[in-house]
Chains A and B, each alone.
Chain A
């Protein structure tokens, strides 16, 4: 996949970084990371330096672990796969540097079971660079499915349990794998470390997966802060007039196409009502019914929810049902405030990022595409003429208020 911007982590080498990092004291190393402004690329954008410090502080004589999350939970966003297939050595160096910063001797590269190419590349790189890396790095495969990438579910998998989230605190940085302090970071985050150490650069780009109605869908490396419109142009421009931009993967919100000047950055996306998530930007062409899109997303989420907590386990199912009812011509005016209430509840009461972020789909679509909802509910027809009813009755086990 061609990367057209000033590419950094996709092909930066930084061969001497590991040696140089080892010449620093861990504290110095962490200061350098802080200076680079490196924030977690896994979606939440938590500063890596803070995480490293927390792991060190909690280690208290125990041996921490490093887990590099290269899972690519969102099937539409193969960022880690692309990175590892292209530049596994740099990523592994990054892991070794992080291990040095927290005094870890064991690390895992955690991959999707379907990522065969990336897995081969990592195994090859581990074999080639064994001596240089100096720590034990093991490849671990997740179970498949969306929740496999969530950090606490990932730890459960490494402990041979089902990929089910766990309440935090305690965070992995204090009680992670086998209850030992664990650094869980996206492989993309860690791949920055060699560049940060060797070239003292600021971590200013982000991998993004552009999909949907664009000429050249694929993974690109763009500067953080690039506008969504420019990202779409990067992928060869659109193949049709756009109706919306779905940003952040399955739990991300859908922005109106008129908002293509929104900057692609952790904070700006949050202000816009969505989030970085899996860094997928999906171009939705006109002629797509947004209610239907939202329903499809919730159908996916309902299937993928790890189901430990009530708001998400039942909530996603319920929202899916309401949305399906709506596009099957069974909507009621009262469904909109009801969705608001369910969304608010899911966001406030869910256990992990999955349920907390999922309502952004409702928030953004109801705000930016009110007509789609209104026409479905009041005129009982699809604004785009594309929905086929899937329900003949409203989804209710018990009648709601």
Chain B
């Protein structure tokens, strides 16, 4: 019986297949075939692909699914068969006794790569939403937004906690890479993804027992030691514990949280709530926190293994400030940034106070935390950075806020020396910088302008130009290597040269962001789990690489009418001076649900990114001059006109999609009438299902696959290309910054308008009861 016939049998008379019973069903006739010279036993009538997969060959596929009749459409699975003069799709051809098959060869590799290049280059949509790609932990953003929109906040939290255990904390401190690529940003403003999960996290924080993504697994009897209770370490501890391992977290500080407690100031992240959220780790069975234990002083890695730990995770972060190599740096009045923040966080007295003049050098998170902390302590603050606002490492909103809180910003200036006055700091001399040629990273390098020196008078200087890991204890740990940048060397599975010792977070990457550290903590927990199960770590590294592969796809044109972002109610600027009150007042229920209910991009698991890793297509994103263009460039249309066009185009996309669905339904009708194994719902019902969260949780589900398939034949008309040509642009990482400038202009306008100024300072409502006045910032 051919494969086509098999798929048209009524389900009760289907031959049981390997997929049904998990192994070759007894009584099934088998035959022998040869794949790449290896003898393989195959069930008579099954596809070559199935036999090959069972024998451990990884034949690339995109359109194949056990439940569907083979379409032979994607052409990725083609193999060479003796006796056939051209490659044949292995998903479509039943095995024949004695077949001699080549599934991997140079020529097949090249042809498949070309094929994949076609698919990728013609892929005018994302099958994984860009926000999900953008977030280092790859939260199922459409999924939790949909749950939130339905008011199912606990479910939403569980979905988020699948990859991110601390949504509240991230809701306040994350620089939101996900929102920079939000497709709604193409028409108007991105969805407030960050605030939304922050709200969810805050909601579930009040529960006695924090929800977990899945029940903690039974104890495995293995013990994991985590050193460092920052985001990386605690995330690793959380997931390792969920997997059933006993976890002990060591930290040199008395309390948990790492930089998030001792660096990020109270006004950005209230520590009581932070603790509440982090305590979800200690609610898990067999978890323990040991504060005041410094690695290298109180214990060594060897000690941990001697004490019976089976694996160690190092997440000790970057706690040493980079030196500012200029004369006068040793003068009294120069403060070490991290130390300063830490002392302030611990409630100890700090050498900054009312009326002092403070200069902070740098442009990152630390810079602004130092500056805004000093401002709150009553000082007059200037931040000096050697490049422009665009290049600043801190999130644009933080820079804006700092400015509005009365902090002076000075760009394109580099410190030359610290001026002495009465034996201590009296000022600091700068040299102007101009932008020169782009360097290797593509950023234009600042070059000094001769004779442009100027001095800013001050009594305190805080250099905040980045941090390094403090790896002095490493002398005693020869088995673990470090790089020139003082970070720990690991393989793709985050394991160091010493088996069983893993490292992640800032200490592995150099100073980065909380969310990247969380992502690494999660991967490390996974790797540790696999290590404890005795898996081959090279293979784990490869799997992680495949999962983390980022698709590089072009922007698609959005199709929804404008809908302004629901703004986070903020503490009015005048109230911020000398106050460490939390500035983000929190979404209320209605606001969060409204924002989350914004139309969502499609979601799903796509095999394309994996194939990208395997087949290494030679494509790279093109510059804007290389996109589709059928006719001479049109003059830029005025904004409104262009939006009209985009919207019209959106309707087109939808119509084309509906057509494609219709066609698919037609194709399926034949099968439907005759009853395919399993039910094949009609296209639309199927679509609705595919959107539901359960299906998405089921990941590689047949529905999503069918959607992918359906996408394939949709034709792109000339008109489409033309319209698209008007707005195609490659993802621009700094888009949000530009938008920041726009928002700034608006905020300034409000500031000038007395009527609206009163609105601004209206009292903030209670974030959890839903009474916050929403209209305040909706501009």
A307 interface hit (Cβ, 8 Å): yes
With A161-B666, A397-B554, A397-B627 known as contacts, the answer to whether A349 contacts B75 (CB < 8 A) is yes
A394 interface hit (Cβ, 8 Å): yes
CB within 8 Å of B: which A207-258 residues: none
Cα-based distance from A394 to B626 in the complex (angstroms): 6
Cα-based distance from A392 to B632 in the complex (angstroms): 5
Contact of B75 among A166, A170, A309 (CB under 8 A): A309
B297 interface hit (Cβ, 8 Å): no
B4:A314 contact, CB within 8 angstroms: no
B622:A397 contact, CB within 8 angstroms: yes
A309:B621 contact, CB within 8 angstroms: no
Contact of A170 among B4, B120, B626 (CB under 8 A): B4
B292 interface hit (Cβ, 8 Å): no
Contact of A307 among B4, B111, B713 (CB under 8 A): B713
CB within 8 Å of B: which A299-322 residues: 307-311, 313-315, 317-318
B692 interface hit (Cβ, 8 Å): no
With A161-B670, A167-B89, A310-B118 known as contacts, the answer to whether A398 contacts B75 (CB < 8 A) is no
With A167-B92, A313-B713, A399-B619 known as contacts, the answer to whether A392 contacts B631 (CB < 8 A) is yes
A311:B629 contact, CB within 8 angstroms: no
In the complex, how many angstroms separate the beta carbon of B441 from the nearest chain A beta carbon?
20
B628 interface hit (Cβ, 8 Å): yes
B630 interface hit (Cβ, 8 Å): yes
For A, the interface residue count at a CB cutoff of 8 angstroms equals 43
Chain A residues in 8 Å Cβ range of B625: 393
Cα-based distance from A343 to B628 in the complex (angstroms): 21
Contact of B630 among A169, A307, A390, A396 (CB under 8 A): A390
B115 interface hit (Cβ, 8 Å): yes
With A307-B713, A349-B75, A349-B111 known as contacts, the answer to whether A399 contacts B118 (CB < 8 A) is no
Chain B residues in 8 Å Cβ range of A166: 72
Q: Mask for B122-138, Cβ within 8 A of A = 1, else 0?
A: 10100000000000000
Cα-based distance from A401 to B552 in the complex (angstroms): 15
B619:A400 contact, CB within 8 angstroms: yes
Question: Which size class do B's interface residues fall under?
Answer: 35 or more
A348:B86 contact, CB within 8 angstroms: yes
Q: Mask for A365-401, Cβ within 8 A of B = 1, else 0?
A: 0000000000000000000000000111111111111
Contact of B663 among A162, A174, A314 (CB under 8 A): A162
Q: Who on chain A is nearest to B664 by CB?
A: A162
Cα-based distance from A341 to B2 in the complex (angstroms): 34
Chain A residues in 8 Å Cβ range of B115: 310-311, 345, 349
Cα-based distance from A96 to B121 in the complex (angstroms): 50
Q: Who on chain B is nearest to A174 by CB?
A: B2
In the complex, how many angstroms separate the beta carbon of B683 from the nearest chain A beta carbon?
14
Q: Mask for B220-244, Cβ within 8 A of A = 1, else 0?
A: 0000000000000000000000000
Q: Who on chain A is nearest to B116 by CB?
A: A310
A179 interface hit (Cβ, 8 Å): yes
In the complex, how many angstroms separate the beta carbon of A199 from the nearest chain B beta carbon?
36
In the complex, how many angstroms separate the beta carbon of A47 from the nearest chain B beta carbon?
17
B5 interface hit (Cβ, 8 Å): yes
A288 interface hit (Cβ, 8 Å): no
With A349-B78, A391-B630, A396-B627 known as contacts, the answer to whether A315 contacts B622 (CB < 8 A) is no
With A310-B118, A314-B122, A397-B121 known as contacts, the answer to whether A392 contacts B633 (CB < 8 A) is yes
B114 interface hit (Cβ, 8 Å): yes
A175:B4 contact, CB within 8 angstroms: yes
A314:B121 contact, CB within 8 angstroms: yes
B663:A348 contact, CB within 8 angstroms: no
Contact of B2 among A170, A391, A396 (CB under 8 A): A170
In the complex, how many angstroms separate the beta carbon of B7 from the nearest chain A beta carbon?
10
With A167-B70, A348-B86, A349-B75 known as contacts, the answer to whether A317 contacts B618 (CB < 8 A) is no
Cα-based distance from A109 to B619 in the complex (angstroms): 47
A351 interface hit (Cβ, 8 Å): yes
B72:A167 contact, CB within 8 angstroms: yes
A309:B87 contact, CB within 8 angstroms: no
Q: Who on chain B is nearest to A396 by CB?
A: B626
A55 interface hit (Cβ, 8 Å): no
Q: Who on chain A is nearest to B619 by CB?
A: A398
B70:A398 contact, CB within 8 angstroms: no
B620 interface hit (Cβ, 8 Å): yes
A159 interface hit (Cβ, 8 Å): yes
With A342-B114, A398-B622 known as contacts, the answer to whether A308 contacts B78 (CB < 8 A) is no
With A391-B629, A392-B632, A396-B622 known as contacts, the answer to whether A162 contacts B666 (CB < 8 A) is yes
B73:A318 contact, CB within 8 angstroms: no
Chain B residues in 8 Å Cβ range of A317: 122, 716
Most buried by A among B87, B619, B621, B669: B619
B343 interface hit (Cβ, 8 Å): no
B667:A179 contact, CB within 8 angstroms: no
B93 interface hit (Cβ, 8 Å): yes
With A310-B73, A391-B629, A393-B625 known as contacts, the answer to whether A398 contacts B120 (CB < 8 A) is yes
B71:A308 contact, CB within 8 angstroms: yes
Chain A residues in 8 Å Cβ range of B538: none
Cα-based distance from A341 to B114 in the complex (angstroms): 8
Chain A residues in 8 Å Cβ range of B554: 397-398
B72:A314 contact, CB within 8 angstroms: no
B121:A398 contact, CB within 8 angstroms: yes
Chain A residues in 8 Å Cβ range of B78: 349
CB within 8 Å of B: which A150-179 residues: 159-162, 164, 166-167, 169-170, 174-175, 179
A308:B73 contact, CB within 8 angstroms: yes
B73:A349 contact, CB within 8 angstroms: no
B626:A393 contact, CB within 8 angstroms: yes
Cα-based distance from A169 to B93 in the complex (angstroms): 7
B75:A314 contact, CB within 8 angstroms: no
Cα-based distance from A310 to B608 in the complex (angstroms): 14
Contact of B118 among A159, A167, A318 (CB under 8 A): A318
Chain B residues in 8 Å Cβ range of A351: 72-73, 75, 89
A179:B8 contact, CB within 8 angstroms: yes
In the complex, how many angstroms separate the beta carbon of B77 from the nearest chain A beta carbon?
11
Contact of B627 among A174, A308, A393 (CB under 8 A): A393
Cα-based distance from A392 to B627 in the complex (angstroms): 11
Cα-based distance from A399 to B628 in the complex (angstroms): 11
B119 interface hit (Cβ, 8 Å): yes
Cα-based distance from A170 to B72 in the complex (angstroms): 13
B626:A399 contact, CB within 8 angstroms: yes
CB within 8 Å of B: which A61-102 residues: none
Cα-based distance from A161 to B669 in the complex (angstroms): 9
Contact of A309 among B8, B72, B670 (CB under 8 A): B72
Q: Mask for B248-260, Cβ within 8 A of A = 1, else 0?
A: 0000000000000
In the complex, how many angstroms separate the beta carbon of B622 from the nearest chain A beta carbon?
4
Chain A residues in 8 Å Cβ range of B71: 167, 308
B626:A314 contact, CB within 8 angstroms: no
Cα-based distance from A191 to B621 in the complex (angstroms): 55
B74 interface hit (Cβ, 8 Å): yes
A161:B667 contact, CB within 8 angstroms: yes
Q: Who on chain B is nearest to A395 by CB?
A: B628
In the complex, how many angstroms separate the beta carbon of B609 from the nearest chain A beta carbon?
15
Cα-based distance from A170 to B78 in the complex (angstroms): 16
Q: Who on chain B is nearest to A170 by CB?
A: B2
B715 interface hit (Cβ, 8 Å): yes
Q: Mask for B70-97, Cβ within 8 A of A = 1, else 0?
A: 1111110010000000110100110000
Chain B residues in 8 Å Cβ range of A170: 2, 4
A175:B2 contact, CB within 8 angstroms: yes
What are 28 A-B pairs at a CB distance below 8 A?
A160-B666, A161-B670, A162-B667, A164-B713, A175-B2, A179-B8, A308-B73, A308-B712, A309-B75, A310-B73, A310-B119, A311-B75, A311-B118, A314-B119, A314-B122, A345-B115, A349-B78, A349-B114, A356-B86, A390-B631, A391-B629, A393-B625, A393-B627, A394-B626, A397-B122, A397-B124, A398-B117, A400-B619
Listed from nearest, the 10 A-B pairs whose CB atoms lie closest are A167-B72, A401-B618, A314-B118, A393-B629, A398-B619, A399-B622, A345-B114, A398-B121, A307-B713, A396-B626
